[in-house]
Chains A and B, each alone.
Chain A
Amino acid sequence: MGTGAVAARPRPRLPVIGRLTRGLAMPVGSVLFAFVLGAIIVALTGASPLAAYQGLLCGGIGVGCTEGENSALQISNSIVYMIPLVMTGVAVALPFRAGLFNIGAEGQLLAGTMAATAIGVHFASWPAVVLLPAVLIGGAIAGAFWAGIAGVLKATTGAHEVVTTIMLNYTAQWLLRFLIIGGPLQPPGVFSASAPVGPNARLPTFFPNDSSVIVFGLPATVYRVHSGLIIALVAAAVFAVLLWRTSLGYEIRALGQSQKAARYAGVSVRRTIIVTMLIAGAFAGLAGAVQIAGVDHQMTDKYFSDTTGFDAIAVALLGLGSAVGIVLASLLFGALHSGGAVMQSDAGISSNLVLVLQALILFSIAANFLGAILRQIPGIGRTRPSAPAPTAPAAALVTEAAAPPEEASS
């Protein structure tokens, strides 16, 4: 095929649709790849992949249920799981754009839950109009503080944020254990849980808090889906505006492309690193506060093994670091989480299969297996532009993240 023929050929599709399909090809392909490999793993252990995925589908979106599960309830559960994923997803994606790898969303989320619980319990008598914002903002500030430690260390000493945030995760986990096991947030006579936050510190649910009201065939109180969804969607929108419509967003993106170039463009590298981490931590802390105010209302031992902040890494990567992508990816992982429980009870397959799938998705995105496979196929490989890198600053991430910013030495 000569070049003339290519140039003369009319564009087959609208450019927007073309861009959309190309943008979706990699994430959708990665998910499919993970599901195929996951099915093989399930089959190898002698279980039925069909039964497993039917359970996931039922628990995720209420389709194909065999045990008479209520579809509306499954969707409600999926959204409940999705809400913190959106905010922590943003907390990972924003630093990504600056070439920083925030593995600490989990610790920042826990910092948010601790602050939110403390405020919600101690000032329970305040009116909701004051207390609820205090709980949410308190959580965000705590998260920002936790991430800020990593940001300041990175900016001043060049300490790698991957290592510092891992350490901060564990520190937060142990601090949380201390607080509710023998610590100041443990009420007398209760083990491994805090007191519940006051009624004024709680986010309203979408359905009335009245068990005599029947919604979709079940009492309204079983639906836990809450107004934190709105906060999460607003957070995603704020992220998009911040990144693309503000000068800070420009600085963050410049930093992610090249620290050196950003510095020549007049961007203060140290300041941007710290501010980016602070904002990211605030999103993750907010996620923790929303979990307390929206669903859990108290800290329990389930937070010891919480993985939201790690799932957020997969969310940010699968969502290609864009706001819409993060929301869609959160929806997927929320549905997988919710589906895992149904799969376990219906098909008898551990809900931990969801973690395996998540890891496979991560491998697939990071390695761009599909791109590599497609490149092997002549014809497709030539006409198809190579898929874009999963995250724009990936190169900057590995090269420059390892070294302290040069400003530090001056």
Chain B
Amino acid sequence: MTAINDILHLLVTANLWQSVLALSTLLLLPALGGVVSERSGVVNIAMEGMMLVGAFFAVYADLHFHSPWIATLVAMLAGGLMALIHAVVSIRFRADQIVSGIAINIFAAGLTVFLIGRLYGLQDVGHISQNESLPNIVVPGLNSIPFVGQVLFNQNIVVYIALVLLVSTHVVLFHTRLGLRIRSVGEHPQAADTAGINVFMLRYGAVVASGLVSGLAGAYLAIGISNTFVPNMTDGRGYIALAAMIFGKWTPFGAFIACLIFGLGEAIYYNNSFIHTSQYLLSALPYILTLVVIAGLVGRSIPPAADGLPYVPGSE
């Protein structure tokens, strides 16, 4: 019974919810990227690799330029470049998008460790000093609101950016002409093309956008949270983001709710000093939860109709 009391007690602490939001942001950014990419009709399971490359180049650039802003920019470009490869291979060459995504992830895992060996030899990559990492922003005044202040107004800058991106992705996708076009390209590219919409352009843009935000998530992980790079440090987060996207039925806010649930699991895991279950079993929980959700207990998820289909102009 004490364990349950302890959990209940933990659930009402602001500390916990502060880290829930921080950890969810790591998932939210690639999940938003996935939503945009798949809404345009390009299956994207490569967020994991794009995040990892972003994380590596964030650390590399930060150690080099001593500026978290330049580092974040470099990370986003690196993620965007990986996404561009995925886009060219799957849009221009009409490759199987799942194979291409897997290739990106393997490429990222191999390339980052290969580059560590070339750039740093056998040593560690090195640590980012605190004043060169992405800063926490405390919103003056608002942060003194009890509970809410700590949870919402004392966060890393990337958390605020992610929340702005969440709202703007929703608005763009569902309330603007551009969003309607992106969705139409993902549902029925032939019709969109007939209506004069540039299918290829929109798909390239959507995929590259997913790389930019995944790179940002990588930068947040590497120079906002960990302040160093270790091989495979994304640790499946890109895949959980993929699950969150499906969980959320390809909508930004749906994905956000899923990210919060996964983030809550992770935060309890980190703040756990009393649940006498193996931490490793707890770590499997998000994945099992996803399986249960996908199994249809929470309603069926239906992807955009043309998701995964290369567009061949003039085809039926």
Q: Which of A's residues lie within 8 Å of B, judged by CB?
A: 41, 45-47, 101, 103, 149, 153, 157-160, 162-164, 166-168, 170-171, 174-175, 177-178, 181-183, 305, 310, 313-314, 317, 344, 348-350, 352-360, 362-363, 365-369, 372, 390-391, 394, 397-399, 402, 404
Contacts and interface: CB of A to CB of B under 8 A. Distances in A.
Interface string B203-239: 0000000000000000000000000000010001001
B51 interface: no
A354 B114 CA distance: 9
- Residue from A357, A359, A402 having most chain B Cβ neighbours under 10 A: A359
The 5 closest A-B pairs by CB, nearest first: A355-B110, A359-B107, A350-B117, A367-B93, A174-B284
A35 to B, nearest CB: 14
Nearest to B104: A359
Nearest to A372: B93
A170 B284 contact: yes
A368 B118 contact: no
B107 A398 contact: no
A367 B239 contact: no
Q: Could you tell me the dominant secondary structure of chain A's interface residues? A: helix
Contacts of B119: 45
Contacts of B242: 163, 166
A314 B106 CA distance: 10
B106 A397 contact: no
Given A174-B281, A367-B93, A352 B117 contact: yes
A350 B120 CA distance: 11
Contacts of A362: 99-100, 102-103, 106
A170 B236 contact: yes
B110 A394 contact: no
Contact of A167 (B106, B112, B278, B288): B288
6 contacts: A162-B45, A167-B239, A352-B109, A356-B111, A365-B99, A399-B309
A366 B100 contact: yes
Given A178-B278, A350-B117, A153 B291 contact: yes
Interface stretch (B16-24, B64-72, B295-303): B295-303
Nearest to A172: B284
B303 A352 contact: no
Interface in B158-176: none
B57 to A, nearest CB: 14
A158 B110 contact: no
- Residue from B89, B111, B114, B239 having most chain A Cβ neighbours under 10 A: B114
Given A183-B280, A310-B106, A353-B110, 20 more contacts: A45-B119, A153-B294, A157-B296, A160-B294, A160-B303, A162-B98, A164-B294, A167-B288, A174-B281, A175-B281, A178-B281, A349-B117, A356-B111, A358-B106, A363-B103, A367-B89, A368-B93, A399-B308, A402-B307, A404-B300
Q: Could you tell me the dominant secondary structure of chain B's interface residues? A: helix
Interface in B70-116: 85, 89, 93-100, 102-104, 106-107, 109-116
Interface of B: 43, 45, 85, 89, 93-100, 102-104, 106-107, 109-119, 232, 236, 239, 242-243, 246, 278, 280-281, 283-284, 287-288, 290-291, 294-296, 300, 303, 307-309
Contacts of B239: 166-167, 170
Contacts of A314: 106
Given A164-B291, A367-B93, A353 B114 contact: yes
B95 A163 contact: no
Nearest to B110: A355
A175 B284 contact: yes
- Residue from A317, A349, A355, A360 having most chain B Cβ neighbours under 10 A: A355
Given A164-B291, A363-B100, A355 B107 contact: yes
A41 B110 CA distance: 12
Given A356-B111, A358-B106, A174 B96 contact: no
Contacts of A391: 96
Contact of B300 (A157, A359, A360): A157
A229 B238 CA distance: 36
A45 B115 CA distance: 8
Given A352-B110, A359-B106, A366 B95 contact: yes
Nearest to B290: A167
A182 B294 contact: no
B103 A398 contact: no
Contact of A350 (B96, B102, B107, B118): B118
